[in-house]
Amino acid sequence: MLIASWNINGIKARIDGLTAWLQERNPDIACLQEIKSQDETFPKKVIEDLGYHVETHGQKGFNGVALLSKEKPESVRRGLPGDESDEQARYIEGLWQTDSGPLRVASIYLPNGNPLGTAKFEYKLAWMDRLERHAEALLAHEERLILAGDYNVIPQPKDVHDPAAWLNDALFQPESRGNLRRLVHLGFADALRMTDDRAELYTFWDYQAGAWQKNNGIRIDHLLLSPEAQIVLRSVGIDKQVRSWEKPSDHVPILAELGG
């Protein structure tokens, strides 16, 4: 089973690239972030015509997450619990029943948090606290669980081309990185780092200053696996070539193959 995550950076602008990638890679479940579309205007039909079921949690103009899957999920949760006043569409979670038992996958678009010293950074940290509480509750189900998405956190210096350039950015702050470590220490594992410990494995290149051409990237898109998912992990890959396609997102897909 192939599970993927991709911050698409606007579904309407990237629909041709998305459909081409879906046909090429044929993932069983694809988690999208930053769809920037309301549910009713999401281009479902073109994706459904490729054999996918579509679940969205969107809002107009920004944010928004989606789950594309070969099989319809048994249930879907929209929104991260813990703050009923939070109207930002950043979390969607599906549960599938498979021949190997239940599989739960969440698509996550964690807040950016910039600029530092503002309510945006406080919101980021509070959102991560809520995610930690919810993830801990999900672990109690002892299911194959994948928390997939754009975390907007650079875990380690080797996950960024130029660490010094990010010292004053919310993505690389000790608080952001510490919150991610706490989440992992609940019992999750960073899927990529289970299989490859090399530096310069990036998932994002800015549109500015020739970042892609210079390989001036960062790794902020992660697949966190529960213990039950870890034991069936076969491989992890980053589809770096997608960044060179016409009208690309500034992120690229990351994928995990599960057996069992």
pLDDT for residue 91:
98
Q: Domain residues for 217?
A: 2-258
Q: Which of 134, 161, 222, 251 is catalytic?
A: 251
- Name 206's Cβ contacts closer than 8 Å, sequence gap at least 6: 216, 250
- Would the pTM count as exceeding 0.85? yes
Annotated binding site: 7, 34, 150, 152, 250-251
Mark whether 251 is an active-site residue. yes
pLDDT for residue 260:
72
Annotated binding site for Mg(2+): 7, 34, 150, 152, 250-251
Alpha-carbon distance of 80 to 87, in angstroms, equals 10
Mark whether 150 is an active-site residue. yes
CATH number of the domain encompassing residue 209: 3.60.10.10
Strand ranges of the sheet holding 254-258, from the earlier edge strand across to the other edge? 53-57, 65-69, 29-33, 2-7, 254-258, 233-238
Alpha-carbon distance of 78 to 91, in angstroms, equals 6
Mark whether 109 is an active-site residue. yes
Counting as low any pLDDT under 50, the low residues of the chain are: none
Work out how many domains the chain is built from and give that number. Answer: 1
Nearest CA-CA partner of 200 in 234, 168, 240, 255 = 240
Asked, as a colleague might, if the bond just before 115 is cis with ω within 30 of 0, I would say yes
- As given in the structure block, the two tokens for residue 22 are 């879906």
**Residue carrying the six token digits 């589809």:** 239
Q: Which of 52, 109, 151, 202 is catalytic?
A: 109
Q: Which of 28, 57, 150, 151 is catalytic?
A: 150
